Structure 1
Amino acid sequence: MTALAVASRRAAHLILDSPAILDDPFAVPLLGTAFHADPVRHADPRARAFRAFIVARSRYAEDNLAFAVAAGATQYVVLGAGLDTFACRNPFPNLAVFEVDFPATQEWKRGMLRSAAIPEPANLTFVPLDFEHRTLKDGLAEGGFHANLPTFFSWLGVVPYLTLPAFRSTLDLIAAMPVGSGITFDYALSDEELSPTLQRARKSLAARVAAAGEPFRLFFRSEQMENELRSAGFQRTEQLDSIEINQRYFSNRSDGLALPEEGLGKLATAWVE
């Protein structure tokens, strides 16, 4: 359900917002005729803010991927890929893409690709992975991933649903990759960094995702996240809050699309140097 909601907001962005932060010509076709960008529903301030965050985090990840490729990275791993379409838009002919997700989710996505007549790219490898039975390292190895090559990872919309050990084990794996490797992800801020209004907003959101069977589990303070990244072994890090995201991606827009100055989470990137 969360993967579908995210994909719907990426598609709505292309129809309702101009200019597009994330140019994704596959977003609407992938969802098929069932998708409708209701301008009234999507005009709600909360809907606009969520849509802005969704497209900004994807754009941020892909911007960092471009930096990594320019520096020599030849592999891109999309963790919890959902309905991500980067592999269909991949502008880098020598970049191998690995999408990691639960087997049932991947089968659902592949069925949607077939229904939309979108061919699976030749340089895309699906890595079906049930984390209760296999490690990420083993799953990637079975998919033909080369652990000795610089690799960039994206991990969007996943961290809040993890346990702390699962989060740390993934960071440890990536931090042990060759120089030039890195990761972009988003995370949820702990209550200590949220205003009472945002705490209430998060409580409402948490109730909705829990009812859908995907409860929030993991929250961080900004300083705590920095410590997690440094402890894992990353040498260079960056964290963006809502104000910084707005400055980077939503400045001087005539449609007013932007994030509220106070947000429920942050974007983070860490590099192996």
Structure 2
Amino acid sequence: MNNPAERTALGPMVIVAADQYATTPLVPDPWAATLLPAPTRFVAAATRWSPVRRVLRSATDKQMAGGWESFLCRKRYIDDQLRAAIAKGVEAVVILGAGYDSRAYRLPELSGIPVCEVDLPRNSAAKAAALNRACGGVPAGVTLVPLDFETDDLADSLQRNGFGTRRRTFYIWEAVTQYLTEPAVRQTFEYLAHAAPGSGLAFTFIREDFLAGRQLYGAQRAREQFVVKDALWRFGLDPAHVGPFLAKYGWREVDQVGPAEYTDRYLRPAGRDDPVSEIERAVYAEH
């Protein structure tokens, strides 16, 4: 049975592809459009024309105020944390919910470091087909693992594919937690509790007050679609409670970022003054 969350992997990568035509791309990514399925790849190609980019940006920001820049900034932030972890000697990378993300292929710092990309079975199959079309197969050093966080055994799947918990590993969990039930999120953290000392984790979360409808942050349309109508977004956190939540699983919150930090670190230096969504935040933690 298809999981409706599968299709949500496409939109953010179209935005990354479109941003390649900006004067200063926040996430330089020559692979962004390449890995997308054909119909979406054509849309991404059309974004080379500024009127098309403006229409897509407007549609994104009408649904979620500041959503366009938010998607880009969270990816840039996680890239930065990953690069820092590699410099400190991380031995493996596990991307939980990889979608059509291209980190494993576009970051030269990952050369020689084994990477595991975990995602829903249909997305993993589509990624494998895209890589076969683009470069003749999945590159050496990258392993694709099909898995449903709600029903499958993450520990067993990673262990069978050579990604146990003995090596210092950098885990990436980008734009996934909101699609899961709380038991599935906690089950994943139960696994992460066994990570090797010196491991790192970068993940994103949706604010709990937004999911509950107490604060809408200019994202009324997004809440109506993803929370009320489709019931896709199911898990959220209070930013102030992230540290204690992580501590239960042996992780220490090192950094948490949102609109203010993204603006200071990425947008202002690039001469960009567009707003960033308030509903999603990113965290870097160490084990």
TM-score range relative to shorter protein: 0.7 to 0.9
CA distance, structure 2, for counterparts of residue 205 and residue 192 of structure 1: 10
The Cα shift of 1:18 comes to 2.4
- 2:243 is matched with 226
CA distance, structure 2, for counterparts of residue 65 and residue 231 of structure 1: 23
CA distance, structure 2, for counterparts of residue 62 and residue 227 of structure 1: 25
The Cα shift of 1:100 comes to 0.3
* 1:33 is the counterpart of 2:33: no
Name which of 76, 94, 111 aligns with 1:59. Answer: 76
User: What's the Cα RMSD here?
Assistant: 2.6
Deviates more, 1:36-45 or 1:22-31: 36-45
- 2:4 is matched with none
CA distance, structure 1, for counterparts of residue 57 and residue 186 of structure 2: 38
Q: Is this contact kept in 2: 1:250–1:258, CA < 8 A?
A: no
Give the direction of change, closer, same or farther, for the CA distance of 1:137–1:194 in structure 2 (3 Å limit): closer
Q: Is this contact kept in 1: 2:20–2:29, CA < 8 A?
A: yes
CA distance, structure 1, for counterparts of residue 220 and residue 66 of structure 2: 17
Please state whether the residue corresponding to 1:232 is helix, strand or coil.
coil
Q: Which runs of 5+ in 1 are unaligned?
A: none
Percent of residue pairs identical: 28
Please state whether the residue corresponding to 1:28 is helix, strand or coil.
coil
* 1:46 is the counterpart of 2:61: yes
Paired residues for 1:12-161 under 5 Å = 12-15=18-21, 17-31=22-36, 32-35=41-44, 36-37=46-47, 38-44=52-58, 46=61, 49-91=66-108, 92-117=110-135, 119-161=137-179
CA distance, structure 2, for counterparts of residue 5 and residue 212 of structure 1: 19
CA distance, structure 2, for counterparts of residue 121 and residue 211 of structure 1: 40
- 1:269 is matched with 284
Please state whether the residue corresponding to 1:127 is helix, strand or coil.
strand
Give the direction of change, closer, same or farther, for the CA distance of 1:56–1:223 in structure 2 (3 Å limit): same
Give the direction of change, closer, same or farther, for the CA distance of 1:193–1:117 in structure 2 (3 Å limit): closer
Paired residues for 1:166-177 under 5 Å = 166-177=184-195
Give the direction of change, closer, same or farther, for the CA distance of 1:118–1:155 in structure 2 (3 Å limit): farther
Paired residues for 1:185-196 under 5 Å = 185-191=203-209
TM-score (norm 1): 0.88
Q: Which runs of 5+ in 2 are unaligned?
A: 1-6
